[in-house]
Every structure is written in C-alpha cells, then in structure tokens.
Amino acid sequence: MGGELMKFGLIALALFVLPMAWGKDLKDVEFARPGGVSLTLDAWLPDDGRTRGVVILVHGGGWEAGDKRTYIGPWFTTLTEAGIPWFTINYRLAPTDPHPAAVEDIEAAVQWLRSHAKEYHVDPSKIVLMGESAGGHLVGLAALRGKVKVAGLVSFYGIHDLALWKQQRGEWPRNIGLYLPGADAAVMREASPITYVKRGQSPVLLVHGKADQGVPWEQSEVFCDAAKKVGAKCEMQLIEGAPHGVENWEKEARFMVWKVPTVAWLKLVLGHH
C-alpha cells in the first residue's frame, strides 16, 4: 500500500508543477427534480474542449445538513489546480427525505452527467464519485449497490459499516436515526456500503485521519480489508493525528498530505495524461 501511494505521490508532484489556470465555472445547474425538489450542481471545467474523466463531489453533514459548497472547500482548489474537472451536487436531506433519497440523488447526478457528456466534454466511462463523512457513506452506496456504474470511488472518513459504527460509538447516533428512522439490523445492512463489496467492483481510495473521533479510522480499514479479501482494488491513506473534516486539515501542513496522492490516484483512474 505504501509503495503504491508513493508512486501516486511522485506522479502527482509532477502534475502540480503546472497548475491549471484556465477554465469555466457552472453555477446552480438543475440535474434532477425528485418530488418537485430542485437539485442543482456547480462545476469547474477546463476550457480547452478536450474530453476528460470527471469527479462528482458529495458533501457530508450527517445526512441532515450542508450543501454543494459546504465542508469540502479544499477539494475545489486542489482539483482545479490539478486540472481535474469536478461537479459538486446538492442532495435531499434527512429527516424530510430519509434513506434512500440521497443515494438516489447521487445516482441521478451520474445519469444526468452521462446524458450531458457531449455538452460538457465528459468521458461517460470515466466518472469517479468522491464524498466525505456522510457523503463518503453515500458515494459508497451509490458506487457499489449496482444502480449505476462508475470508474472509481474515493471516500474521506466515510461510514462503511453502520452496525460497526453503532458499536464503535456505543450508541445509535442521533443523525443516523434521522436518516434511517427505526432501523433494524437488516436495514443497517442494506444501507451499509460494505454489504456490496464484490470482486470486479470499481477501484476504491479511502482517506482517513487517525485521530477522527466522529468516524473511527477502523471503518476504512475494515472496508478495505473486505474489498481485498474478494480481490477488489482498494488503497488506503491514513493521516497521523488528523481529526474529522478535510477543512480542519487545512490548519496544519502535516494533515494536507492527502492532496498529492489523491490527485495522482484520480489522474490514473480517470485516464488523464
């Protein structure tokens, strides 16, 4: 694992030497209207007309808070400077819209982007989902449960096994109770990305701080071990001392080590040269 991440890091270091300084922004583009609720996205796209693989970004917020511009600010600048096109989306929130509404909205975003691939110069076979915290849980479900097919999955400190998370926390967290009201063991299993791990799935990158008090880093370890056990591709980057939240990592240089290897992994999966 360490050798692979080092290889990604060396590649990305070269890529960061020439940051992307040109492109165009999209704001508040509607991609779905489930039950009359308008769901919109923002995006950054290189303005050279080349067809590329892209990343769909999914914010966290405990399934009940946030929007397409919250919690993930460092992702926007990091991907833009590396020339990686991105779309960041809104999705329906609990408790007004419990599971599986948010997952269905992510799947709808993938389908919308494929249907608009020519318009936005997107390679429809090279779409990666990237989420953090609750968003990491949601992209895991969307990428693995089989309703849409994506090229890769990146989860930052996501919840991959809800039963294990309850055990780790010693309680049923309030926000998961809003997202999965009245959940029993069967519902928790259905709503856990680890349930859908299988051979031949999309490659996975997991990024997690080892001082995360909200989502213990063992969530990523257990998920990656399960993937490797069935022969699926999974890489994991653990960041010593890092708490929960990529925006919190901006406070210390030692926590920002995720940027180079994550960009390199994305470049390889997306087929960028």
**Residue 58 to residue 87: CA distance in whole angstroms:** 9
pLDDT, position 196: 98
**Digit-coded pLDDT (tens) for 136-185:** 999 999 999 999 999 999 999 999 999 999 999 998 889 999 999 988 99
Locate the domains of the chain by residue range. 2-270
pLDDT, position 16: 43
- Residue 264 pLDDT grade (very low, low, confident, very high; cuts 50, 70, 90): very high
Over residues 22-37, the mean pLDDT reads 95
- Residue 21 pLDDT grade (very low, low, confident, very high; cuts 50, 70, 90): very low
The model's pTM is 0.93
- Residue 22 pLDDT grade (very low, low, confident, very high; cuts 50, 70, 90): confident
**Digit-coded pLDDT (tens) for 235-262:** 999 999 999 999 999 999 999 999 999 9
**Digit-coded pLDDT (tens) for 51-93:** 999 999 999 999 999 999 999 999 999 999 999 999 999 999 9
The whole-chain average pLDDT of the chain stands at: 93
The CATH architecture one would assign to domain 2-270 is 3-Layer(aba) Sandwich (3.40)
pLDDT, position 75: 98
Confidence check: pLDDT of 232 > 80: yes
pLDDT, position 194: 98
Over residues 115-129, the mean pLDDT reads 98
% of the chain exceeding 70 in pLDDT: 92
**Residue 56 to residue 113: CA distance in whole angstroms:** 9
Alpha-carbon distance values, 48 to 24, 107, 122, 183 (Å)? 10, 28, 12, 48
pLDDT, position 3: 47
- Residue 225 pLDDT grade (very low, low, confident, very high; cuts 50, 70, 90): very high
| Neighbour-count burial of 30, counting CB atoms closer than 10 A to its CB (0-12 exposed, 13-18 middle, 19+ buried) | exposed
